[in-house]
């Protein structure tokens, strides 16, 4: 994650811009970091939540159409993770 370094004066003068940004900012005084502003994650919009609900519903339909269940998917996922980790080592 990239952190922007700015002076305290610039931070104060452009505070609204930095508060709306999603980029962390290291605040400096005479070149020394005196603080870091880390923005929080934005609250999901109603449209985002609805899209997530629709995607979940489609996923359930695909799982049912494939004739499998959540337990099978979890088992396959765990197996794939073990295999991937084994390849890295």
- Per-residue b or e along 76-85, where b marks 16 or more CB atoms closer than 10 Å to that residue's CB: eeeeeeeeee
Return d(Cα 59, Cα 53) in angstroms, integer.
10
Q: Is the pLDDT of residue 69 over 70?
A: yes
pLDDT at 86: 92
* CATH 3.40.1620 domain extents, the chain: 4-37
Q: Residue with structure tokens 């609805």? A: 50
Phi, then psi, of 35 in degrees rounded to 5: -175, 165
Q: Is the pLDDT of residue 84 over 80?
A: yes
Q: Which helix (H) or strand (E) holds 27?
A: strand 25-29
pLDDT at 41: 83
Architecture of the domain delimited by 4-37: 3-Layer(aba) Sandwich (3.40)
pLDDT at 1: 62
pLDDT at 77: 92
pLDDT at 29: 95
Q: Is the pLDDT of residue 56 over 90?
A: yes
pLDDT at 32: 94
Return d(Cα 59, Cα 63) in angstroms, integer.
6
Mean pLDDT of 15-42: 92
Name every residue whose Cβ is closer than 8 Å to that of residue 11 and which is 6 or more positions away in sequence.
Answer: 18, 25, 27, 37
Mean pLDDT of 43-68: 92
């Amino acid at each position: 994650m990239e952190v922007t370094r700015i002076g305290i004066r610039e931070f104060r003068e452009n505070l609204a811009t930095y508060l709306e940004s999603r980029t962390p900012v290291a605040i400096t005084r005479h070149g020394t970091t005196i603080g870091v502003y880390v923005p929080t994650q934005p609250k999901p919009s109603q449209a985002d939540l609805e899209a997530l609900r629709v995607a979940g519903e489609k996923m359930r339909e695909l799982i049912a159409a494939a004739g499998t269940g959540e337990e099978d998917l979890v088992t396959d996922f765990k197996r794939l993770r073990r295999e991937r980790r084994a390849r890295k080592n």
